[in-house]
Each structure stands twice: as C-alpha cells, then as structure tokens.
Structure 1
C-alpha cells in the first residue's frame, strides 16, 4: 500500500550515451540533474541510470544517485524500474528506490522501500514523485 509522499523532483536530462546494441537490445546510459523536496527539505539530485530496450518495446532500468540538501546532508539511493514509451515521445517510468544515509534528518529512509513515478519528456525535462511503500 502506498504511504506518505516522500518527495518530488523536476529537472533535465544532462547526457545520454549508447553503451551497446548487441543482439538488437539497445542499452543506454542517461544522466539527470534535478531539484525538489525530500521529507520536506529542499534538495538537489544527481542520477545516472542504464536502460535496456526489451523485445516487447518496454524498458528495464537500473540506476543510482545522490541527493543533497542545502545544509550539506547527503542521501544516496539505488533504484530499478520499468519504462514505457508514451504518445508524446517520452518515457513513463514506474519502480522502486532504496535509500542510504547517515544524516540524522533522513536516517528513517534507510528502512524504507519507496516507489516512484517518473516522466521523461521528449525534450529531456524530467518530473517525478516518490512515496513510501508500506
């Protein structure tokens, strides 16, 4: 069951690389920079993820990132998800995130499985929301 909303982000894709096309399954690496909130605090987020185009046209992705507060706290995360191309040329992602931090204001995230909705527009603009999964 979905619990409380943990945060939101908006940002931009900063780079895309093709890593492989072996066997007709394109593998790309995407980097993103975003700003938003996490547990009510203003944050900046940097992330890189790899996605594999599967035979059915969906994407499987895995990534990691670092989230930083204005006060200098850092939260790292790992995630995985499934993406589907949408009608406007972008990709809609759904998946899970797992956090790790020693920062006192965010330490409760260490025990949280979080789920996300993440949209990448054709222009490279990204938006996302993360909820606690209870």
Structure 2
C-alpha cells in the first residue's frame, strides 16, 4: 500500500550513451542531476541508470545515485523500474528505490522500500515523486 510522499525531484539529463546493441537489445546509460526534497530536507541529487529495450518496446532499468544536503549529509540509493515511452518523446518510469545512509536526517529511509514515478521529457527535463511503500 502506498504511504506518504517522502520526496520530490526536478532537474535535467546530463548525459546519455549507448552501451551495447548486441542481440538487438539496445542498452543505454543515462545520467541526471536535480534538486528537490527528501523527508522535507532540501537535497541535490545525481544518478545514473542503465536501460535495456525489451522486445515489447518497454524498458527495464537499474540505477544508483546520491542525494546531498547543503550541510554535507548524504544518502545513497539503488533502484530498478520499468519504463514506457510517452507521446512527448520521453519515458515514464515506475519502480522502487532503496536507500542507505548514516545521516540521522535520513535514517528513516534505511530498510524501507520507496516507490517512484520518474518522468523524462524529450527536452531532457526530469521530475520524480517518491512514496513510502508500506
């Protein structure tokens, strides 16, 4: 069951490259950065994920990243999800992310699953909403 919203993010893609096309399955890598909130605290976030084009036209992706506060607190994340191309030329991603931190500000995120909506636009803009999964 979806719980409370624990974060938001908006930003932009900073790079994309093709890693492989072996077997007809394109594998790409994309990086992004942005700003937002995590548990009500302002953060800068950056991450990189790999996407594999599936035979049905959907994408499977796995990624990792880090969020940092202005005071230097950090929380790292790993996630995976499924993407679908949208009419605007971007991708709508849905999946789960798992956090790890020693920072007291974000300790609540240790050991819980967070589901996300991560949307990209053809222009390179990205936005995300994060919800605790209870």
Common topology (TM > 0.5): yes
For 2:98 and 2:12, the matched residues in 1 are separated by: 22
Tell me the equivalent position of 1:125: 125
Tell me the equivalent position of 1:58: 58
Mapped pair 1:25 → 2:31: no
Tell me the equivalent position of 2:34: 34
Cα-Cα RMSD: 0.5
Aligned runs of 1:1-134 on 2, under 5 Å? Answer: 1-134=1-134
SS at structure 2 position matched to 1:105? helix
For 1:22 and 1:83, the matched residues in 2 are separated by: 20
Aligned length: 134
For 1:81 and 1:4, the matched residues in 2 are separated by: 20
Q: Which runs of 4+ in 1 moved over 2 A?
A: none
For 1:19 and 1:104, the matched residues in 2 are separated by: 37
Residues 53-99 of structure 1: per-residue CA shift (max 9 Å, x gap): 01000000000000001111000000000000011111000000000
- Structure 2: runs of 5 or more not aligned: none
SS at structure 2 position matched to 1:107? helix
- Structure 1: runs of 5 or more not aligned: none
How high is the TM-score relative to the length of structure 2?
0.99
